[in-house]
Amino acid sequence: MALLCYNRGCGQRFDPEANADDACTYHPGVPVFHDALKGWSCCKRRTTDFSDFLSIVGCTKGRHNSEKPPEPVKPEVKTTEKKELSELKPKFQEHIIQAPKPVEAIKRQRQANLFQFEASLVYRVSSRKGPKLHRETLS
C-alpha cells in the first residue's frame, strides 16, 4: 500500500517498507512570498512564476514522512459587540459652524465687483489727433 509523503516540496507516494534515508528530496523551510518573488526559506532560489516555484527541487534529502503536519494556529480575533450610535459619538458638547459654500461666496464677490467697477467707454472724434476712447464711470 502506497502512502503519501507530507514533506514540503515532495508529495510523492511511497512504500513504507522501502523508505530509505535518502528517498525523499524536500524543503525543510517554509514557502516565502515577497512582492512578486516566490521561494523557500531554506533555499536562495526565487522565481516570479508560480509553476516554477512548485517545480523547485528540494534542497534536503531524508526519509518520506507519512504523518500530516498540524495545521498552523490562527490567531484569535476578538469581535466587539455592536454598539449604539450614541455610544460611538464623542462625549463632549459639539458645536458645528458651517462656512458658506465656496461657490456662493465667489458669486457674491463677482456681483459686488460688477456694481462697483462698471464703466462705459465712449467714442469721441477729435478733429486734431484722430479718434480717442474716453472712460466714463456710470453713476
Among residues 75, 73, 7, the alpha carbon closest in space to that of 40 is found at 7
Helices in the chain by DSSP H: which ranges?
50-54, 85-88, 102-116
pLDDT at 119: 56
Which tops the pLDDT comparison, 123 or 55? 55
pLDDT at 100: 62
Q: Nearest 5°: CA angle at 121, between 120 and 127?
A: 145
In a domain, residue 87? The reply is no
Tell me if 105 sits within 8 A of 97, measured CB to CB.
Answer: no
Number of domains in the chain: 2
pLDDT at 47: 92
pTM: 0.49
Mean pLDDT of the chain: 77
In a domain, residue 70? The reply is no
* Exposure letters 61-70 (e unless 16+ CB within 10 A, then b): ebbbbeeeee
DSSP, collapsed to helix, strand or coil, labels residue 113 as helix
| Alpha-carbon gap, residue 120 to 133, rounded angstroms | 10
Question: Which residue range(s) make up the domain with 121?
Answer: 102-137
Phi and psi at residue 34, to the nearest 5° = -130, 120
pLDDT in tens, 28-56: 888 899 888 999 999 888 999 999 988 88
Phi and psi at residue 116, to the nearest 5° = -75, -40
- Domain harbouring 48, CATH code: 4.10.1130.20
